[in-house]
Amino acid sequence: MNSDSRLLRFALRLDAAACAGLGVASLALNSPLDRLFGTPPALTVSTGAFLVLYAAGLWLLATRPRIHPAAVWIVILGNLGWVAASVAITVAETFPLTGLGVAFVLAQAVAVVALADLEYLGLRKIRTRAA
Check pLDDT > 70 for residue 3: no
The length of the chain in residues reads: 131
**Rounded CA gap, 120 and 76, in Å?**
7
Number of continuous H segments (helices) and E segments (strands) in the chain: 5, 0
- C-alpha of 55 from chain center: 8
* Structure confidence at residue 56 (pLDDT): 98
- Residue 3 carries which side chain, given as an amino acid letter? S
Which domain, by its residues, includes 23?
3-130
**Model pLDDT for residues 64-73, shown as the tens digit of each residue:** 999 999 999 9
Mean pLDDT for the stretch of residues 73-94: 97
Number of domains present in the structure of the chain: 1
Name the pTM for this structure. Answer: 0.91
Q: What is the pLDDT of residue 131?
A: 53
